[in-house]
Structure 1
């Protein structure tokens, strides 16, 4: 049973024109950095089971709340959350600690940022691990337009862009209910409902499945989002098309050793052509849903440590 008070105290680190709230473990292992990058709507706290295991294995574990989250800066401009800013924060974090490069681990949106980092700043990454979200190929059409044609304008990533401010206001009405409903596992299959799924979820009285974490653990996220609101984190999605344009002239092949970890019951689709863009990738699947590092912490730790070793 994890006790939230066991989580390390943060420091505020100035990087790239903002401040990031950063949690660390294994400082005594300077020289072997691993940076863990959370997803949406998450928090550095989502890595609570990995931090001690990596520190015990000899790594200096650096876990930021990325911009828009927790007590990190929340710039007002939407474009301040594009892939150049998000990867720039991580580069500046390495500079702060005096590291040339590091191993980066990303879950969900954090995986997207880590893939982007490998493309935009390849010399700052020595290897990478992505959980849940595979490399996203830059196709012929900007991503929001592509998703709209494929999944309709109620798909949450499209809705966030086409109706800015609407969803975040709903999430802000009752962060505790939204997060309780979001962080579930072993969910029974459901018929698709009309409307925007995330808004429906935020308003649902009875959540499906089982809770991913204890009430005490969930309280850490609730407190963070009651303070920060959801707009900063949703702004990451509002840069999907901007990111598509920013990556236009970048070599699309990730040449680093990479580990891709899927949850077998995750709703995020697996990549059909991952090795085409990430030739040095190894793929592992665990029997879980989307919240891999919290649903299967021991199994994931073993997979990560074996691969890093």
Structure 2
């Protein structure tokens, strides 16, 4: 990684977060997903900085080098959005463009919905805007996909946490390869279901070789940061899933509200998320949830790890989006 990247800690919204930052200019926040960290954006810093932006990628609460609050209820979308709004202010900025991947996307979409005064534009990778709660609640997905559906499986405190913490590098290797577009199983993506009696990693067999976009050094970078939390390495990350039902309850007053700022959506055509459907076709169309939507951009052959698998295409789309909303990218 570029040695000019600055790593430091900030205290925001009652939690201590690690951030990586680089560049000067309008602020762009990059929000990682599960089970990642700031490192998932390693390919985006240089192009965005070169275009004239200040780029900041935090480890969100519960992840990697950041603080892991012990209470499961400390991981609602309201907490997570609160962290990002407080971070914008802590960085001395009035507004930011917020870009999120996977779980970072619901945080970005929800921040744009609730605080358009702070989020001047938003981009989501993988997960579309499912408003107002961010994701379909377990009370519905359980009926759709059964008890083995991964989001339901993750609800069991301590079970999957211990499974992944047993061998952290192996867990990352299996998960990153398993959900990638390079996995032949994802050529026709479907919902991730954990069969009864098996664990999550059993659905992602060890790969004899890594795809071109992933190295052993990348796996080690993730593993070393998550290992800082010991046996609780993944508990903070799983606690995000354990608040999906609560998120829908807390954000119920905002039902019917959309995203009023410019928006961009990107997804790989081999991403499992593309196989998930709202019950009875009840999902709000993208153009209705975000009327100023650019795209969607669909990346051929790309799996779930959008900005890591297809960095050049993602960077080009982000720079085009930023140029559109700014008139021309600042320099």
The TM-score with structure 1 as length reference comes to 0.91
Closer/same/farther in 2, CA of residues 6 and 232 from structure 1, 3 Å limit:
same
Residue 258 (structure 2) aligns with = 253
Give runs of aligned pairs for residues 288-303 of structure 1, distance below 5 A: 288-303=302-317
1:144 aligns with 2:144: no
Q: Distance in 2 between matches of 1:207 and 1:169?
A: 24
Uncovered stretches (5+) of structure 2, i.e. residues with no partner? 278-282, 324-331
Contact 1:155/1:197, CA 8 A, preserved across alignment: no
Closer/same/farther in 2, CA of residues 108 and 230 from structure 1, 3 Å limit:
same
Q: Distance in 1 between matches of 2:227 and 2:221?
A: 10
Q: Distance in 2 between matches of 1:95 and 1:187?
A: 41
Q: Deviations over 1:180-203 (max 9, x none)?
A: 01112311127977236624246x
1:67 aligns with 2:64: no
1:115 aligns with 2:109: yes
Coordinate RMSD, CA, aligned: 2.2
Aligned length: 300
Residue 277 (structure 1) aligns with = 289
Q: Distance in 2 between matches of 1:37 and 1:193?
A: 27
Q: Distance in 2 between matches of 1:208 and 1:187?
A: 11
Q: Distance in 2 between matches of 1:248 and 1:212?
A: 40
The TM-score with structure 2 as length reference comes to 0.85
Q: Distance in 2 between matches of 1:201 and 1:174?
A: 16
Contact 2:110/2:131, CA 8 A, preserved across alignment: no
- 1:267 alignment partner, one of 272, 283, 291: 272
Q: Distance in 2 between matches of 1:52 and 1:87?
A: 26
Uncovered stretches (5+) of structure 1, i.e. residues with no partner? none
Q: Distance in 2 between matches of 1:193 and 1:144?
A: 15
Contact 2:194/2:203, CA 8 A, preserved across alignment: no
Residue 286 (structure 1) aligns with = 299
